[in-house]
């Protein structure tokens, strides 16, 4: 059975509640878990959308890269729920190395960019995937904010490595957006602020 009927009153249980106490589904802890779950689900969509695209980053296919992100987010979720799990520092370093290798292939960032690139040019699967990755980047930032809110309200405890991973993940997604648009010949569009 995929339902327990125990959350019908708006509360839930995590691994942290060893006494059997339940927490509100609107608590910071539950919001953080939900935001990370949403990001993980969206990365699954990106993985499927990238299956037939020939792009690789440091010899790793995009589907494999998204899958690795999902695996790491399960570690994040486990830690948030109270399990004795942590994102290893090597995984943060790995993301940083990928970001640096992507940045070497791109022009320097001089401004913010409008998602989807300039409103000209042709449709391509790479361009569409880049726009979806930009959505994932925004979801990742929200998930990070929800986790930090839970930490600040002392509802959550999380390791420095896991926090760093969440922070770098959105940076990696941003780099992937730029990488895919660059490879698809999509010009970056800065906001005019007019």
Query: How far lies 4's CA from each of 15, 54, 134, 177, in Å?
Result: 16, 43, 36, 40
Inform me whether the pLDDT recorded for 2 exceeds 70. no
pLDDT digits (tens, 9 = 90+) for 67-103: 999 999 999 999 998 889 999 999 999 999 999 999 9
pTM value is 0.87
Alpha carbon distance 135, 118 (integer Å): 17
pLDDT digits (tens, 9 = 90+) for 24-51: 555 777 899 999 999 999 999 999 999 9
> What structural domains and CATH numbers belong to the chain?
24-106+113-183 (1.20.1200.10)
């Amino acid at each position: 059975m995929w339902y327990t009927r125990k959350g019908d009153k708006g509360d839930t249980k995590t691994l942290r509640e060893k006494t059997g106490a339940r927490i509100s589904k609107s608590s910071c802890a539950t919001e953080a878990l939900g935001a990370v779950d949403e990001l993980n689900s969206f990365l699954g969509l990106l993985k499927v959308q990238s299956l037939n695209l020939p792009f690789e980053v440091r010899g790793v296919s995009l589907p494999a890269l998204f899958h690795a992100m999902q695996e790491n987010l399960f570690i994040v979720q486990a830690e948030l729920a109270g399990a004795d799990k942590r994102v290893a520092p090597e995984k943060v370093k790995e993301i940083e190395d990928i970001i640096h290798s992507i940045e070497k292939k791109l022009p320097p960032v001089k401004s913010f960019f409008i998602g989807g690139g300039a409103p000209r040019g042709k449709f391509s699967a790479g361009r569409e995937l880049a726009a979806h990755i930009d959505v994932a980047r925004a979801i990742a930032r929200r998930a990070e904010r929800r986790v930090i809110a839970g930490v600040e309200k002392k509802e959550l405890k999380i390791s420095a490595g896991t926090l760093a991973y969440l922070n770098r993940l959105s940076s990696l997604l941003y780099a992937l957006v730029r990488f895919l648009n660059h490879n698809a010949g999509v010009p970056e569009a800065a906001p005019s602020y007019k």
